[in-house]
Amino acid sequence: MGDNKGEVEGANNFYDIQHRKYDVRKGLFAMNLQIVCAGIGGRGVLLASTIIIETAIKAGLKAMASDEYGMSQRGGSVVSLVKVGNFASPLVGRESANILLSFEESEFYRNLPFLKTGGVTLVNTSRQLLSANIERLLKKRRVQYFLLDADAIAMQKGMIQSSNMAMLGFFSAFDITPFSCDNIKETIRQKVKARLVEKNLEVFQAGYESAQSFQLIADSKNQ
Amino acid sequence: MREVMIGNFAIARGLVEAGLELAAAYPGTPSSEILPGIIEFKNREKLAIHAEWSTNERCALEVAFGGALAGRKAACMMKQVGLNVAFPPLLHGYAQPLKGGLVIVSCDDPGPQSSQTEQDTRLLAAHFGIPVFDPASPGEAGDIAYYAMKYSCEHKVPVIVRSTHRVSHARESIELFVPGSRKVKLDEGLKLKGKGRIGIVTSGMTCSITMDILDELNLGDKIGLYKVSRVFPLGTEVIGFVNQQEKTLVLEETDVALEALLDHGFKVLGRRSGHVPSAGELTYDNVRDIICRFANDHGISVPEFNADTSIEDALKEIQIAPRPPKLCAGCSHRASFYAMKSAFPDAVFPGDIGCYTLGISMGAVDTCLDMGGGVTFASGFYDTFAQDGTLKPILASVGDSTFFHACLTPLYDSVLKKRRFVLVIMDNSTTAMTGLQPTPQSGITADGTSTYSIKIENIIKGFGIEFLRIVDPYDIPLLLRTIKEAYEYLETESAGPAVIIARRECLLFSKIREEDTRDMARLVAECTGCKICIKTFDCPGSYFDEEKKKICIDEGLCIRCGMCYYACPTSDEGKSLKELKKVRNEKKRREGREDSKK
């Protein structure tokens, strides 16, 4: 139901598990995109979703977000739903999200029901592989998934709290217009505290670059 | 100029642009960000607005009411259950003609997500004849806040703006105007014409969700849609719309305000007819199911949404760590509760509303009724036990902000009636759960300027309470001894309530001092794998590693307060605490023997 909607225009290959090439997506335009950002408190989930909607709004698109967080506590679940395009509400239904950005592994599983058939997900995890059952499920649902050790990247740069930037960097490599590397970087410069900008951008860049190497691995595997 | 902001800031902006002069609020999710928003825009626009955190919602409403009676444009903000606290002025005051304007913003919590009950502000407003508006998005919330102030000034009556958490906490780009120059036309009326057979009447965020779903299901040309913004008094056009339809579905949160006001008998379907669940949030999925069924029931064929259950099947094997709300790692409340529970495991624990309600998971909170309810519950329990001739330990807990909000009256009542219970006031110097607002003890006002600090201990002394101790909850043995001491005091002839102030600043606004930190290596090294600390202490800063069969420290969360050592039965601290518990028991036994000799 509604499969023809909320997808990236003209991007049939984008949803093909066999073609993990970013170039098929280059220059595409985000029409009616639904993104779920999921993680835990203190990991910058809300900052990431802010950067996504600000980037979209700067490009002249309509964008809204709805945040769900518990009490003022650290370590609780945080989910930010983002809708870009011609929507009235910021809420996302089951199996409706095009993209699931999981800033923490267990939140990936918890929020997987949001992701639609043919969706894309990026998971912050130290794992190399998902379990066989999950992999089978994702294949059946034609979901492209990317595992990224964003914590390790952030740690390497001495910025443990900035794994969200590594995630955004990787996401920018999808290059879904307007979420290009340059556009997101520009928003980061405006939204992140001045003294942290350079460090954050460094982590962002590392995330972006790890997407490039990921593509090579994925290509050699799949071709 | 445009700016991305949450619905609560949009409301603040709308009010400020409408010429707001006086604002009073008590924090409560999801309304807490409105007053800070007002202060932000007041500073930006360099306006003279009096903005305050009041001690409770009744104070907030009465202050704003006073301002409005005297000719000011005033507003007050609270959450839906906060409006209950403000009932006396609301019910009597709505009929007083205002010289100025009064907007009451009450934020509902469908679900409920962070309240004890769901409640529909619109229903109360309609019941008492107070105009009420129900915005469907952050942008509209800003417009409606502006419009409501004009409406109130024009009609000389208080006006309620009802938001919900999905509106208050959604973010979108909002247009900012020069104060006084916003042009608002109420966005109400026919959104989709339909074919006159079936239609939907809806308001609030549910309206926005409904529009997205009708679009998703391609029903836009088949089902009529009427959007209501002013729920009371309800316009006549919407009644005309319902008259034209064979059947109308009403979609609204949280209760049945529109459905009751439309009152078209069998023509109107909703919660009362069983077409909409009677409680709980109307999520995207809920609304989609309801609309699918409604369409199919009335001859419009729509494929029902079938959830792919293979997702849940595949997830079965994954151990998703449950994340129930927990006190933060190192929270001093956890130490207080641990001492309370250790002192009297079988006590009755009346609790209250705040972060510390989470003491429920440690078995140190038994009740949670309403703000201040803990003290009065303790009183009722004591009176009951006293009638039966027993003195059971009663250990009530309350936070500092809630103490000021609602506990003074019940407490001096208890003094007068010589009720014997222990009240632990968990003073973390802030209103932590709703975002660190100051309390009357903080010595600062909402905008950060300094003022008097009213000390809790002075109030307690003023009441004539004889037993008062101020303890650092991180000193668990001392707190435990103090609780035992308090109970000994309660056994004396002339006792009234005993009060212990467990005072340590909230970690969310004050980092732990270096001298208070401990080395955590011993905890891991000496762990025998008994898991008792997991069960009794429940700190997110540590977890049990099933492979190593040992406790592990989560370096990202643990603040090295070392309180968990007391929960470890093999550590020196744990053993010393066990000795402390025993001392009292032996004394009790000895006394028991002496009693039997007599």
Q: Are B142 and B184 in contact (CB under 8 A)?
A: no
**Residue B296 CA: distances (Å) to CA of B60, B269, B290, B299:** 48, 14, 10, 5
Give residue B264's pLDDT. 80
Mean of the per-residue pLDDT values for chain B?
93
- pLDDT value at B586 more than 80: no
Give residue B113's pLDDT. 87
Which three-class secondary structure string do you get for A177-218? ECCCHHHHHHHHHHHCCHHHHHHHHHHHHHHHHHHHHHHHHH
pTM for the complete prediction? 0.91
Give residue B596's pLDDT. 58
- Chain A closest-CA separation from residue B553 CA (Å): 14
**Residue B580 CA: distances (Å) to CA of B274, B344, B569:** 58, 12, 13
- pLDDT value at A95 more than 90: yes
Residue B250: both structure tokens together: 């009403």
Q: Are B541 and B559 in contact (CB under 8 A)?
A: yes
Domain boundaries, chain B: 2-175, 189-297, 332-510, 519-598
Q: Do domains B332-510 and B519-598 have the same CATH topology?
A: no
Residues B232-283 have pLDDT tens digits of 999 999 999 999 999 999 999 999 999 999 988 899 999 999 999 999 999 9
The stretch B21-41 carries a mean pLDDT of 96
- pLDDT value at A25 more than 80: no
- pLDDT value at B425 more than 50: yes
Residue A131: both structure tokens together: 């379990």
User: Per CATH, the architecture of B332-510 is what?
Assistant: 3-Layer(aba) Sandwich (3.40)
- pLDDT value at B221 more than 50: yes
Note whether B283 contacts A: Cβ–Cβ < 8 A.
yes
Q: Is B169 within 8 Å of A110 when comparing Cβ atoms?
A: no
**Residue entry with tokens 């009929």:** B95
The stretch A144-154 carries a mean pLDDT of 93
CB neighbours (10 Å) of residue B294?
22
Look up residue B132 and give its amino acid: V
Split at pLDDT 50, 70, 90, the class of B324 is confident
Task: Give me the percent of chain B exceeding a pLDDT of 90.
Answer: 84
Mutation pick from A51, A74, A137, A143 vs chain B, by most beta carbons of B within 10 Å, is: A74
Q: Is B433 within 8 Å of A71 when comparing Cβ atoms?
A: yes
Chain A neighbours among B 312-341 (CB < 8 Å)? 312-315, 317-318, 320-321, 323, 325-329
Nearest Cα residue to A108 out of A74, A66, A79: A79
- pLDDT value at B495 more than 90: no
B78 burial level (CB within 10 Å; 0-12, 13-18, 19+): buried
Selecting from B2, B212, B323 the residue whose C-beta is nearest the C-beta of A87 gives B212
Note whether B212 contacts A: Cβ–Cβ < 8 A.
yes
Q: Whole-angstrom Cα distance, residue B84 to residue B119?
A: 10
- pLDDT value at A29 more than 60: no
Residues A111-139 have pLDDT tens digits of 999 999 988 999 999 998 999 999 999 99
Give residue A71's pLDDT. 55
For chain A, domains (ranges, CATH) are 25-222 (3.40.920.10)
Split at pLDDT 50, 70, 90, the class of B588 is low
The stretch B19-32 carries a mean pLDDT of 96
Q: Are B326 and B538 in contact (CB under 8 A)?
A: yes
- pLDDT value at A21 more than 70: no
User: Which residue did the predictor score with more confidence, B325 or B97?
Assistant: B97
The stretch B68-82 carries a mean pLDDT of 97
- pLDDT value at B377 more than 60: yes
Residues 6+ apart with CB under 8 A from B386: B420
Q: Whole-angstrom Cα distance, residue B68 to residue B103?
A: 9
Note whether B508 contacts A: Cβ–Cβ < 8 A.
yes
Q: Are B333 and B357 in contact (CB under 8 A)?
A: no
Fold of B2-175: Rossmann fold (3.40.50)
- Chain A closest-CA separation from residue B214 CA (Å): 11
Which three-class secondary structure string do you get for B575-587? HHHHHHHHHHHHH
Residues B444-481 have pLDDT tens digits of 999 899 999 999 999 999 999 999 999 999 999 999 99
Q: Are A27 and A177 in contact (CB under 8 A)?
A: yes
Paired with A102 in beta bridges are: A38, A123
Question: Candidates 1.10.10.10, 3.40.50.1000, 3.40.50.920, 3.20.20.150; correct CATH number of B189-297?
Answer: 3.40.50.920
Fold of B519-598: Alpha-Beta Plaits (3.30.70)
Can you list the alpha helix ranges (DSSP code H) found in B245-283?
Answer: 257-262
Q: Whole-angstrom Cα distance, residue B572 to residue B518?
A: 14
The stretch B69-95 carries a mean pLDDT of 92
Note whether A213 contacts B: Cβ–Cβ < 8 A.
no
CB neighbours (10 Å) of residue B268?
22
Q: Whole-angstrom Cα distance, residue B555 to residue B558?
A: 5
- Chain B closest-CA separation from residue A222 CA (Å): 24
Q: Are B61 and B76 in contact (CB under 8 A)?
A: yes
Q: Is A40 within 8 Å of B323 when comparing Cβ atoms?
A: yes
Give residue B196's pLDDT. 75
User: Which residue did the predictor score with more confidence, B328 or B226?
Assistant: B226
Q: Is B173 within 8 Å of A63 when comparing Cβ atoms?
A: yes
The alpha carbon of residue B364 and the mean position of all alpha carbons in its chain are separated, in whole angstroms, by 20
User: Which residue did the predictor score with more confidence, B324 or B18?
Assistant: B18
Split at pLDDT 50, 70, 90, the class of A69 is confident
